[in-house]
Structure 1
Amino acid sequence: MDFNFKLTAEKYQKELLEKVIPFWENNSKDEQCGGYFTCLDRQGKVFDTDKFIWLQAREVWMFASLYNRVEQKAQWLEMAEHGARFLMQHGHDGQLNWYFSLTREGEPLVQPYNIFSDCFATMAFGQLYQATGNEEYGRIAKQTFDNILKRQDNPKGQYNKLVSGTRPLKGFSLPMILCNLSLEIEHLLPKELVNQTIDEAIHEVMDIFYQPETGLILENVTPEGEFSDSFEGRLMNPGHTIEAMWFIMDLAERKNDSELMQKAVKIMLDTLKYGWDDEFGGIFYFLDIKGNPPQQLEWDQKLWWVHIETLISLSKAYYHTGNEECLTWFQKVHEYTWAHFADAEYAEWYGYLNRRGEVLLPLKGGKWKGCFHVPRGLYQVWQTLEKIDAKSPKRE
């Protein structure tokens, strides 16, 4: 198939370094109170000053990651450390249990019920430790990771609102993120712990939550790994599955496991075909595995992160396997994503479209969207397409 990997890689690189990263550098830094503003309108103006820990930590991670992986720019490291200082001072309860949200000044608003605050704090301080060698950053990352492992069987702990024992379910999100998190901070952990965490996470994702009869992955199963015929038990999140599959591909590459690689690619493609909206294009946000109406009223919206994670997954799948179907789908999703999410007038991307692909909310950042999926996705696809180009036969 005639596809210019080099030019497309340059498109992603340029968007990342000339538009998206400058948007966050210019608009998100809170010089007065520390940390970052994430609630930014289409042009980058602040419309709410609350600070959400997982987005604060993601932005720290993003700038530290750029410093470590792209170029050692002093302003990127300072941007990361600016957020880290705020997190260290205000982000946790003193025991490194990370709050969900704070006021602009750093007063806690929402208790540390959400383990993903902890996951992204671990990632942030792990990257910063790599960038600086600062032992305090390493200690915070390691201790927070230990806390996550202790909480993984009951992530919400005392904040769980469900009645215990009636319909116990376990969620896909945590084993999925552990696939990525274990690689992010392996430089801080004993090798045995890294390998054990990876093996357990792969088993959960690929054996427990995966349903061989449908070829799809569920968001929730019983503690025994069985199907629950309930709203939560029937729930599918195509973007989650597809994102998880590139984490698995990274692990399969590390383990040199071609069977695991092929299984990840198959699940990714099966999920994409199931989740694609044939009428309007794009990938649905939520689906019911039995085809029933989902309980999420936003089920048919088209979200930025779902499409960007899909582009990462497809590019990696093609790089590792040469499967032409992955390249065909990459072009299809690439065209949809750039036509609908990229803002032709202002920097950064829209996050929320209606089913028809029209902009639903013109914000560039909010409570759930920050400096993470767009820049991470642009970076990952840029790097992967460059690797594909490097190993492609060159025409004379």
Structure 2
Amino acid sequence: MPFKIRNIPAVSRVLRGCLPFVLLLCISSCFLSKRTIGYSVDPMFTSNYSKEENRLTSFGDSLFLVKASDGLPVHYFQQYNTGVCFDNKCRPLSISIYWSVTGRYLGFELPKEEFLSKTDHEPFVPEEYEFLNSLLANPDLPFADMEYHELMDQPSDAVESVDAVSGATSAMVSNIVVKGAVYTTYKLWNIVYGPTKDFIAGHTGSILTPQLIEEILMANNQEDKVWVLERFPENIEMTDSLLDIIETLIVQADFHMAYTAAHAIKGSQLRSDGIQNMLFNAYGKSNDPSIKSLIINKLGQAPFLCTEVINSSRNYIEKLNGNELVDMLNLLKKHNVTDKQTVLIVEKLLSNENIFIVNQAQKFLNQAQLSNQ
């Protein structure tokens, strides 16, 4: 049965001429026997990956981290030798499970001539492998909180020794298991979302570099992007390219991604002029009032405003109104920006026909006068 790759998206810069998901299970006819079975979901692409030049880091006897020739982490895989039982007769099962560097399920592969089977040892057909693969890619299935006997119409003292034999499949799981392979589905799903996934996430979080973060943020998977933004290291070097990527996410991504990207910047990092300028550039480019307000609030957490941001802010004062003007003036007041140039520009607002704008300008000028005194 040929290996099958499914749902692999188009790749941009990160490919750089390579076939990165050679990383998981490759193209079947090139690297795997026709009797090898494997299925995958969206990969997290990485650059400079060559299967022939990969490097392995071992964690124990069966978990491995695959690195590209440049040392960049590519993916993890774990080899399992376990038992799956039918009619109280068990046979060994060898399977490799793959995860992205964030701990997201990537796929599985069986050794040559190995296969998954159902009741009466009937082998899976391709459609059942595809269904199993889609189930394993779903982290929201309820299996983590279920006991074995709940899978079948069996008494609570049933043991994990049969697969759809001594009872009918429970109605609560009948649509989320491969028919005739209830326990196989349950067991593999719990492997995918068990301790190994947590270990992977923790280990990758401890080895994040600017280059790895860039690769994750430039790939196509939203889940991976959110994962790394929520774990953004406070002491990471903010390279120009990384700042550009974060700015693009804030400006062009959907609200949730933009919000997460903006909040990835920690308070201590706001001491950097480069980070402040990046945020203010994003402010100028964004068309979302909520994101613009979020950026101003984030800059309000900075210990000071850099000269470039103060100078740039003057260009906005006369153009803003409503909440955006309030946010900008509050930002300047919070950082006690009362220089002559800024005060002169705010004074111009006193002649505005909008009484709200006049009132906001007066409040700012009153505080500026007190500060200067």
TM range (shorter): under 0.3
Higher relative contact order (CA 8 A, sep 6+): 1
Q: Work out which of the two has the higher radius of gyration on C-alpha atoms and give 1 or 2.
A: 2
TM-score where L is the length of structure 1? 0.24
TM-score where L is the length of structure 2? 0.26
